[in-house]
């Protein structure tokens, strides 16, 4: 059942489509059929299909979907993102969340889940689904279904330069890591994602993968890599040492795993779990570590299902994954409202962009900088907004932009509001003094 809009009304239209041949992710010189209208199931294995679906969705739901390009792949394919919001053309004082898939081109189900999420939220918005409305009205949700369109086109893990994009990000990038490029961010796809992060100011990111084995399915938190002082620390011990919001990050990940297993669907109920990434296996230069280390973004990798190299013949498997993880994904997204945020302006009221933010938990004295020798923290986005997902408590916040410095003592409430001197707000305004 599809909903077609006409003169402000929603008219149910029954669409019957017949898919004659499974569409793989290999280049097809002939015509491709993705359905009329296209669906996630017919499109998720092909970059052309994904483009078709996103263009259709943006045209079908223009009041809640904005489609944009964040850059090009190494072979010249467009990397698309959609923004879902009740005011998609406007930067609002709302948490910004990213969901992305297919950083590895042979993990097509990640792209499929991204499209299923778009479908659910767009259709749910128009029928008054409260879960969809809560996300559309209160958050700015951005979805990049496929980061690696060249790899997706060929059902290959790497991009067209034989680089693993999830080893090419510039945080704990390691020269000895396999297929990581000649230097951090030397691939157009990873640099496009980096720039999009810095522009949008995501506080939460969910990176969707698939794994070859049953024991690997689960949700993984920071860190994927170790730092330089790990001789006496386990991965979770290292994460706890350097993250003042470690307990909350761990709790949200554990909640996701519990939501998935509670659905009682095999194989998820037997195998799905939460771990720090390096507790599964260490890797260097990952997107999730860079997002947290540089942008302060709480970032998870979700290994959706024990299969790679999907075709459209796996549409039933995509539906199974969606059924098992839908509630968990929606619940995790809404947790972006936790913590503290705000907007930084100068004395004239203009937004201060790209300011470095350091958030220090007063009780522990630990900085939000996960690695002291790098002193990396969050940053204000292109409209001056920022948000950190943190526990309630007292903090000291510091802003640095060039020679200008601003500081404040704040109290973060349990519902995601911040008090500066007793007045609570979800996005208080901070004014950066003149130099």
For the segment 361-406, what is each residue's pLDDT rounded down to a tens digit? 775 544 444 433 223 379 999 999 999 998 888 888 999 999 999 9
List, in sequence order, every residue forming a beta bridge with 405; answer none if it has no partner. 400
Whether the per-residue pLDDT at 10 is higher than 80: the answer is no
Check if the beta carbon of residue 345 is closer than 8 Å to that of residue 429. yes
Q: What is the mean pLDDT of the chain?
A: 88
Question: Of 39, 49, 322, which is closest to residue 208 (Cα–Cα)?
Answer: 322
For the chain, the domains span 32-337, 340-431
Check if the beta carbon of residue 38 is closer than 8 Å to that of residue 312. no
Per-residue pLDDT, averaged over 311-325, amounts to 97
Question: Of 197, 262, 250, which is closest to residue 223 (Cα–Cα)?
Answer: 250
Question: Of 194, 200, 107, which is closest to residue 145 (Cα–Cα)?
Answer: 107
What the block records as the tokens of 43 is 């499109």
Whether the per-residue pLDDT at 335 is higher than 60: the answer is yes
Whether the per-residue pLDDT at 274 is higher than 90: the answer is yes
Q: What backbone phi and psi angles, to 5 degrees, belong to 375?
A: 50, 45
Whether the per-residue pLDDT at 1 is higher than 90: the answer is no
Asked whether the domain spanning 340-431 has the same topology as the one spanning 32-337, the reply is no
The model's pTM: 0.90
Q: What is the pLDDT of residues 11-58, one digit of tens each?
A: 333 333 334 345 554 444 446 889 999 999 999 999 999 999 999 999
Instruction: Look at residue 231 in the predicted model and tell me its pLDDT.
Output: 54
Domain 32-337 has CATH 3.30.1440.10: no
**CATH code linked to domain 340-431:** 2.60.40.10
Per-residue pLDDT, averaged over 203-209, amounts to 98
> pLDDT over 70 for what percent of the chain?
86
Q: What is the DSSP string of 120-150?
A: HHHHHHHHT-HHHHHHHHH-EEEEES-S-HH
Check if the beta carbon of residue 302 is closer than 8 Å to that of residue 206. yes
Instruction: Look at residue 6 in the predicted model and tell me its pLDDT.
Output: 29
Whether the per-residue pLDDT at 353 is higher than 70: the answer is yes
């Amino acid at each position: 059942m599809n909903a077609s809009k006409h003169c402000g009304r929603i008219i149910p239209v029954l669409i019957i489509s017949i898919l004659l041949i499974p569409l793989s992710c290999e280049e097809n010189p002939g015509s491709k059929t993705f359905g009329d209208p296209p669906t996630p199931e017919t499109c998720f294995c092909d970059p052309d299909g994904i483009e078709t679906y996103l263009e259709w969705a943006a045209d079908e739901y223009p009041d809640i979907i904005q489609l944009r390009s964040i850059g090009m792949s190494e072979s010249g394919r467009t990397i698309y993102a959609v923004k879902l919001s009740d005011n998609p053309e406007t930067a609002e004082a709302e948490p910004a969340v990213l969901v992305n898939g297919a950083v590895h081109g042979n993990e097509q189900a990640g792209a499929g889940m991204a499209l299923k999420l778009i479908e659910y939220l767009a259709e749910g918005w128009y029928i008054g689904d409260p879960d969809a409305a809560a996300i559309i009205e209160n958050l700015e949700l951005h979805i990049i279904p496929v980061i690696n369109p060249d790899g997706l086109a060929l059902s290959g893990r790497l991009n067209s330069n034989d680089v693993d994009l999830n080893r090419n990000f510039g945080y704990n990038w390691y020269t000895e890591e396999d297929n990581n490029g000649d230097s951090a961010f030397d691939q157009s796809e990873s640099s496009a994602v980096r720039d999009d992060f810095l522009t949008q100011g995501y506080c939460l990111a969910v990176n969707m993968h698939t794994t070859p084995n049953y024991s690997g399915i689960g949700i993984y938190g920071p860190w994927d890599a170790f730092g330089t002082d790990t001789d006496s620390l386990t991965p979770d011990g290292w994460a706890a040492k350097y993250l003042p919001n470690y307990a909350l990050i761990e709790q949200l990940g554990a909640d996701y795993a519990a939501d998935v297993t509670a659905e009682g669907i095999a194989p998820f109920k037997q195998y799905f779990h939460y771990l720090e990434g390096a507790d599964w296996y260490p890797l260097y230069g990952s997107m999730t570590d860079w997002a947290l280390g540089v942008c302060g973004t709480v970032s998870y990798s979700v290994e959706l299902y024990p299969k790679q190299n999907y075709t459209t013949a796996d549409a039933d498997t995509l539906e199974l994954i969606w059924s098992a993880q839908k509630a968990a994904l929606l619940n995790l997204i809404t947790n972006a409202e936790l913590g503290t945020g705000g907007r930084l302006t100068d004395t004239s009221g203009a937004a201060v962009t790209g300011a470095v933010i350091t958030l220090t938990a007063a009780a522990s004295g630990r900085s939000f900088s996960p690695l002291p020798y790098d002193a990396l923290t969050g940053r204000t986005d292109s409209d001056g907004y920022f948000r950190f997902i943190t526990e309630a408590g007292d903090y000291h916040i510091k802003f640095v932009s060039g020679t200008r410095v601003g500081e404040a003592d704040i109290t973060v409430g349990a519902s995601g509001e911040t008090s500066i001197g007793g007045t609570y707000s979800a996005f208080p305004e901070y004014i950066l003094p003149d130099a």
